[in-house]
Structure 1
Amino acid sequence: MVFSPSRCLFTSTLILGITIAVSSSSWLGAWMGLELNLLSFIPLILMKDNQYSSEAALKYFLIQALGSTVLLISAVMILIKIDMFTASLTSALLLKAGAAPFHSWFPPTLEGMMWSQALMLMTIQKIAPMSLLSFYIKEQEILVSMSVILSAIVGALGGLNQTFLRKLLAYSSINHMAWMMSALMMSESAWVLYFVVYSLVNMSVVMLMMVSQSYHFNHLVKFTSHKPATKMIMSMSLLSLGGLPPFTGFIPKWMIIQQLCSMKMFLILGFLLTSSLFTLFYYLRMTMSSLVLSSFKTKWNLNFKHFNNKIIFMSLSVNLMGLILISLASMVMT
């Protein structure tokens, strides 16, 4: 990925928009930050000049503009002491974050993006909506709890019949949104920890997909003809994203499970754990495709020149960090 001046400029203003939205003391300032973030992300989507990117940019703009309109109207109504609009404001933030039941735009939009933009949409583009959601999450606990349950179900079942990798990771992101909102219902530090771990693990998966130019299940067979170390790292990254112990992705889920048990929120916990089994199934299916299956056709078309030691070391470090964290946690508890 080439960092052109325009890409650096729009990335900087995108981060500035997130910073303004998160640090603002008023809803008008938060809205301005969200709009700056939106206007910076659209050109990044359009860096790849094709019809899919244009369609994705248009979908993203329309949905985010709708969310911003509802958010601004709701914020004005709240300022004049009409508290019934807190539900619509919360719904607008859920729409912007891509959480169920406002998720239908998320998979097709992400499908039209390149891997680098898709990674941004699944990670840093969720920071501002989730941070703003924390202001009314206690007041709208029923609405957020319903969104947690629906996101867990949609993310788990939606990815089962997917063969396109970006759509599959989109449904995976919706499922992880359920875990992040559950963490946000406990404390801001819990969701920040989950978000950081999810972003790192997701980045390790997306980077491997990006350098191998994999967009479909059939492309995963490229990994069977490569070095065993690369195949193993790809498998570990996917299993870590699924939250399988003892990999890094399991650590924040383990903490959330403990907190939900202590808060006696067993209904939400049941849906989260059940959905994790379904998501782990399609991660295992991807793992089997990259580790076991073989294709004679793709062996002649491999291009792994960009697989360097930095990417392999980064992915290995991120996904094996869980072993160290579990050891440290056990030492602290004893």
Structure 2
Amino acid sequence: HWFFAWIGLELNTLAIIPILAKHHHPRATEAATKYFIIQATASSLILFSSILNAWHTGTWDITQLSTKLATITLTIALTMKLGLAPMHFWLPEVMQGTTLSSALIIATWQKLPPMSLLLMTKHLPTPILLTLAITSTLIGGWSGLNQVHMRKILAFSSIAHLGWTMAILILSQKLALLSLMIYILMTTALFLVLISNTTKTFKDMSQLWTKSPALSTSCMFILMALGGLPPLIGFLPKWLILKELTNYHLTPLATLMAIASLLSLMFYMRLTYITTLTISPNTTNSMMKWRFKPTTTISP
């Protein structure tokens, strides 16, 4: 029932707002306000589309969405909630303004309610979804190249990965669900590494090896998996999605998405290089910080 789905989305939004704004800092308050405005706008569009569909068809059933205008409005609203391009502008700013743990919730758990509604909805507009998919993949990869803050990089990573999920949503819902679950798994693993070391920038990443070599090595594998390098787990959904797109004679789209994924791979590899192949300047590797003291003086 669309009304209950809308209530669920509103409860979800109202529950996350205090978590985003719990740190009494202007940036946290700004992030929470931006998040609330975007989510409230998207929720109002969802309510509008469901009322429009109920007016035309006489039913509030989620699976019976058949009116063209209602379907397009709903698709735009749900993709706005997910943070897909070109409605993605709020996501990097909100994630940058919150703590790492709050950013983890936004990048993973908050994707589930809108995505579940997209999976349940029939007659989704294929051209719009495919356009959003390729736009998100390109913008997610291109915008991430210029970032030095980890939360913004992971925000653009989220946009790019959700672009891949949208591309296959119409053709294979099981594959879309697999892609989403693997993305959530990899992103959660990387966020846990960042949270354990309070890592926020490239500079912090370069110091990870001196703090914990084992964690730094794990981070390298997670980053390469996010980039989609074989034989790591991130390669599997991309390979299956490209294969499925080719089977449905969407080879130009598959080619463009494969090329766009190289942009994302670029900043993942740059992060991997900084994390594991460079060591930040350090006076000594000893746990005890000490210096030699001169014991003799040279007389003139």
TM-score by length of 2: 0.87
Match of 2:50 in 1: 75
Q: RMSD between aligned alpha carbons?
A: 1.8
> Which residue of 59, 71, 74 maps to 2:34?
59
SS at match of 1:214: coil
Deviation at 1:292, TM superposition (A): 1.9
Contact residue 154 and residue 175 of structure 1 kept, 8 A: yes
Kindly provide the CA deviation profile for residues 291-325 of structure 1, in whole angstroms up to 9, marking residues without a partner as x.
Answer: 1222236989x9xxxxxxxxxxxxxxxxxxxxxxx
Contact residue 222 and residue 299 of structure 1 kept, 8 A: no
Contact residue 148 and residue 268 of structure 1 kept, 8 A: no
Query: Matched residues in 1 for 2:221 and 2:228: separation?
Result: 10
Give runs of aligned pairs for residues 132-211 of structure 1, distance below 5 A.
132-136=117-121, 138-211=123-196
> Which residue of 231, 242, 247 maps to 1:262?
247
> Which residue of 217, 237, 245 maps to 2:222?
237
Instruction: List gaps (5 residues or longer) in structure 1.
Output: 1-25, 303-334
> Which residue of 277, 287, 291 maps to 2:262?
277
Paired residues, number: 276
Deviation at 1:198, TM superposition (A): 1.0
For 1:70, the aligned partner's letter is L
Q: 1:236 to 1:298 in 2, by over 3 A?
A: farther
For 2:40, the aligned partner's letter is A
Task: Pick which of 111-120 and 222-231 moved more.
Answer: 222-231
Task: Pick which of 80-89 and 269-278 moved more.
Answer: 80-89
Give runs of aligned pairs for residues 78-89 of structure 1, distance below 5 A.
78-81=53-56, 83-89=68-74
Identity percentage of aligned residues: 34
Q: 1:280 to 1:84 in 2, by over 3 A?
A: same
Query: Matched residues in 2 for 1:176 and 1:137: separation?
Result: 22
Match of 2:236 in 1: 251
Largest Rg, 1 or 2: 2
SS at match of 1:186: coil
Match of 1:50 in 2: 25
Query: Matched residues in 2 for 1:137 and 1:172: separation?
Result: 28
**Which stretches of structure 1, 4 residues or more, deviate above 6 A after TM superposition?**
none
Instruction: List gaps (5 residues or longer) in structure 2.
Output: 57-66, 288-300
Query: Matched residues in 1 for 2:115 and 2:243: separation?
Result: 22
Match of 2:15 in 1: 40
TM-score by length of 1: 0.79
Deviation at 1:48, TM superposition (A): 2.5
Deviation at 1:50, TM superposition (A): 1.8
Match of 1:288 in 2: 273
Kindly provide the CA deviation profile for residues 145-183 of structure 1, in whole angstroms up to 9, marking residues without a partner as x.
Answer: 110011011101010111111001100100001111123
Match of 1:228 in 2: 213
